[in-house]
Structure 1
Amino acid sequence: MKNVMKGIFAGTIALGLSTFCFAQEADTRGYNPNSVRPIHESDIMFKKTVWTNVDLNEKQNRPFMAVNNEITRFVINAVKAGLLTPYATDSLTSKLTVEEFVKNISAAGTQMTPEDMRFEEQRIKEDDFLTPEEKKQRIAALKNGGGGNEYPASYFTQMELKEDFIFDKQRSRAYWDTQAITFWLPAEKNGDLGIQKRMAAFKFKDLYKLFKSSPNAVYFNSQNNQEHKNLADAFELRLFSGRIIKVSNPDDKDLTEIYDGGKKGLLASEWMKQQLMEYEHNLWEF
Structure 2
Amino acid sequence: MNKFLSFAALAAGLSLSLTASAQEQATTATSNGSYRPIPNSDIMFSKTIWRAVDLREKQNKPMFSEGKEISKVILEAVKRGEIQAYRNDSLTSTYTPAEVTANMSFAESANELSDEEKAAGFTEADAGASDDGWGAPAAKPAAGSSAPATAGAPASYEYRYKDLYQMEVKEDMIFDKKRSRMYHDIKAIGLLVPSTLSSNTSGIEKTVGYFKYSDLVKMFRNNPDKAIWFNPQNDAQHKNLADAFELWLFNSYIVKVSNPSDARLDEIYGSQQQGILASQQAAADLIEYEYNLWSF
TM-score (norm 1): 0.76
SS at 1:278 equivalent? helix
Match of 2:166 in 1: 158
Task: Please give the alpha-carbon distance, in whole angstroms, between the structure 1 residues aligned to 2:28 and 2:39.
Answer: 5
The 3 A distance-change label for structure 1 pair 219 and 110 is farther
The residue number in structure 2 matching 1:195 is 204
* Match 1:239 to one of 236, 242, 249: 249
The residue aligned with 2:7 is none
Deviations 1:61-101 (A, max 9, x none): 11111011101111111000010100011110001011111
Q: Are the counterparts in 1 of residues 164 and 191 from structure 2 also a CA contact under 8 Å?
A: yes
Q: Is the 8 A contact 1:178 1:204 kept in 2?
A: yes
Given that residues 78 and 84 in structure 1 are in contact (C-alpha distance below 8 angstroms), is that contact kept between their aligned partners in structure 2? yes
1:207 matched to which residue of 2? 216
User: How far does residue 250 in structure 1 lie from its aligned partner after superposition?
Assistant: 0.4
Secondary structure of the residue that 2:98 maps to in structure 1? helix
Matched residue type, 2:34: S
Q: Tell me how far 1:209 sits from its aligned partner.
A: 0.8
In structure 1, what residue type is equivalent to 2:161? A
Pair 1:65 & 2:40 matched = no
The answer on 1:272 being equivalent to 2:285 is no
1:222 is matched with 232
User: Aligned pairs, how many?
Assistant: 235
Partner Cα separation in structure 1 for residue 240 and residue 58 of structure 2: 18
Contact 2:108 2:155 in 1 (8 A): no
- 5+ residue gaps in structure 2? 1-19, 111-139, 147-153
- Note the residue ranges of structure 1 that are not aligned, 5 or more in a row: 1-22, 122-145
- Matched residues in 2 for 1:44 and 1:93: separation? 24
Q: For 1:96-111, list aligned pairs within 5 A.
A: 96-109=95-108
Could you tell me how far apart the structure 1 residues matched to 2:239 and 2:229 are?
Answer: 5
Aligned-partner residue type, residue 201 of structure 1: Y
Aligned to 2:12: none
Query: Partner of 2:258 in structure 1?
Result: 248
Partners of 1:225 and 1:36 in 2: CA distance: 28
Q: Give the superposed CA RMSD.
A: 2.6
Higher strand share: 2
> In the superposition, relative to structure 1, how do residues 206 and 147 fare at CA in structure 2: closer, same or farther (>3 Å)?
farther
Secondary structure, aligned partner of 1:35: coil
For the Cα contact (< 8 Å) 1:162–1:178, is it kept in 2? yes
Structure richer in helix, relative to its length: 1
How many Å apart are 1:251 and its aligned residue?
0.2
1:258 counterpart residue number = 268
Distance 1:42 1:105 in 2: 41
Distance change >3 Å, CA 259–CA 70, structure 1 → 2: same
Structure 1 pair 38–110 and aligned structure 2 pair: CA distance change class (3 A):
farther
2:229 counterpart letter in structure 1: Y
| SS class of match (1:232) | helix
- Rounded Cα–Cα distance in structure 1 between residues aligned with 2:87 and 2:293: 38
* Gap change, CA 1:229 and 1:247, over 3 Å in 2: same
Give the SS at the match of 1:149: strand
SS at match of 2:211: strand
1:120–1:102 distance in 2 versus 1, CA, 3 Å: farther
Whether the 8 Å CA contact 1:186–1:195 is kept in 2: the answer is yes
- TM-score normalized by structure 2? 0.73
Deviation at 1:109, TM superposition (A): 4.5
Measured in 2, the distance between the counterparts of 1:30 and 1:210 equals: 19
Deviation at 1:172, TM superposition (A): 1.0
- CA gap of 1:220–1:40, structure 2 versus 1, over 3 A, is same
Give the ranges of 4+ consecutive aligned residues of structure 1 lying more than 4 Å apart after TM superposition: 118-121
C-alpha distance in structure 1 between counterparts of 2:192 and 2:58, whole Å: 18
Corresponding residue of 1:139: none
User: Is the Cα contact below 8 Å between 1:183 and 1:200 reproduced in 2?
Assistant: yes
Equivalent residue letter for 1:168: D
Alignment of structure 1 residues 43-62 onto 2, 5 Å: 43-62=42-61
> In 2, Cα distance between the equivalents of 1:120 and 1:167?
58
The CA distance in 2 between the partners of 1:209 and 1:120, in whole Å, is 38
